Amino acid sequence: MDWTTLDHPPQFAPLYWRAALKRRITGSHLPEQGFRCRVSVNPEQVAAYRQVCGFADSPMLPATYPQVLAFGLQLKLLTAPSFPFPLLGLVHLRNRIRVYRPLGAVSELTIAVHAHHLKPHAKGATFELVTTAEDALGLLWEAQSRMLCRGVKLDGAAADDALPTPTQVSELTRWKAPADIGRRYARVSGDYNPIHLSALTARLFGFPQAIAHGLWNKARTLAALGEHLPAANIEIEVEFKKPVRLPSEVTLHASVAGPSGQLWLKGSGEIEHMVGRWRPIG
C-alpha cells in the first residue's frame, strides 16, 4: 500500500467539484493507495452531530462519529485520479464498525482510509472502503463500507453473503425521518450527496424523493439502542435494504440488551430498510 500522509484534513469543496466532473468508469482495478491524517475532535461539532442523530450527552464519542472525521479523506481517495469509479452513483450496501476500546477522552486521532477487495456483483462490482482510527495506544476503531459501482464487468461469480433475517426481535421504538434530515445531516457530516438534500436534486439521479443517508439511519439506530450495546469490544454490522424516503416514519425492532443481538429497521407496509447485528469482536 502506498500511503500519503496529509498535514491537515482535505477541504471538501474542490473534492466535490472533482466528483462532479468525473462521470465515467475508467478502469477495473483499485489503486494501491491510501491516505492518512491527524484530526482533532471538536466538542461543538460532536454536540451538533449528537443532536441530529439523537444521541444522548455522554463522555463517549458515538460509535459512528469517526466516520464523520474520516469523510474528507474518503472523498480524497474516491475522487483521486487513480480511482477508477465515479463517486456520484456509488451505492452504500453495507457497513461494519468495530470499537476496540471505549471512545472516551478522545481529542486527537490518526485516521487512515484505503479501498480493497474488488469483487463481482450481480449489478456491477463491489469494493470495501476501509477506515481506521488510532490513538496513542494503537488501533481504537475500524469501519468497512461495502460500495457498489454499477456497470463494472469482472470475471467470476457474484457472492451471496447477505446478513440473515433477524429473529427473536421485538419493537423497541419508532421515529420520524423528517423532510429536512438529509440537509441537517449533511451540515454535521459534510456528505452533501444530492440524493439526500431535496426531492428536486434526488430526481436528477432517479429518485422520486430525497432519501435519508444510510449512515444517519445507522447512527439514529445506535442512538435508540443506547445502553443496549456494550461500549467496546463490539462489532456492529448493518446491511442497507430499501432507502428511507423523506419524510417518513420507521420502526426499530431489536433483540434484548446484551453482548450480541440483531436489529431490524422497517417502514410502513413492513418495508425493510436495514438489517443488522452486533456481537463481540472475534
More confident residue, 158 or 225: 225
Whole-angstrom distance, CA of residue 20 vs CA of residue 79:
10
Whole-angstrom distance, CA of residue 255 vs CA of residue 168:
6
Residue 227's pLDDT is 86
- This prediction has a pTM of 0.96
State what percent of residues in the chain have pLDDT above 70.
Answer: 100
pLDDT tens string 23-46 = 899 999 999 999 999 999 999 999
Residue 90's pLDDT is 94
Residue-wise burial string across 167-176, b where 16 or more C-beta atoms lie within 10 A, e elsewhere: eebeebeeee
Give yes or no for residue 160 having a pLDDT over 80: no
What value does the mean pLDDT take over residues 125-150?
97
> Would you place residue 206 in the very low, low, confident or very high pLDDT band (cuts 50, 70, 90)?
confident
The architecture CATH gives domain 1-161: Roll (3.10)
Nearest to 239 by CA among 212, 269, 272, 279: 272
Q: Do domains 1-161 and 162-282 have the same CATH topology?
A: yes
Give yes or no for residue 167 having a pLDDT over 80: yes
Give yes or no for residue 241 having a pLDDT over 90: yes
Is 162-282 in CATH node 3.10.129.10? yes
Residue 158's pLDDT is 82
What value does the mean pLDDT take over residues 142-159?
91
Domain limits of the chain? 1-161, 162-282
Nearest to 223 by CA among 195, 191, 185: 185
> Would you place residue 155 in the very low, low, confident or very high pLDDT band (cuts 50, 70, 90)?
confident
Give yes or no for residue 50 having a pLDDT over 90: yes
Give yes or no for residue 79 having a pLDDT over 90: yes
Contacts of residue 229, defined as CB under 8 A and 6 or more positions apart, other chains included, come to 63, 222, 236, 257, 278
State what percent of residues in the chain have pLDDT above 90.
Answer: 90
Residue 282's pLDDT is 82
Give yes or no for residue 216 having a pLDDT over 90: yes
Length of the chain: 282
Distances 121 to 149, 156, 185 between C-alpha atoms, Å: 9, 9, 30
> Would you place residue 136 in the very low, low, confident or very high pLDDT band (cuts 50, 70, 90)?
very high
> Would you place residue 204 in the very low, low, confident or very high pLDDT band (cuts 50, 70, 90)?
confident
Lowest mean pLDDT among 25-39, 107-121, 127-141, 153-167: 153-167
Contact between 182 and 212 under an 8 Å Cβ cutoff? The reply is yes
Mean pLDDT of the chain: 95
Measured in whole angstroms, how far is the alpha carbon of residue 256 from the centre of its chain?
Answer: 24
Whole-angstrom distance, CA of residue 126 vs CA of residue 145:
10
Residue 144's pLDDT is 98
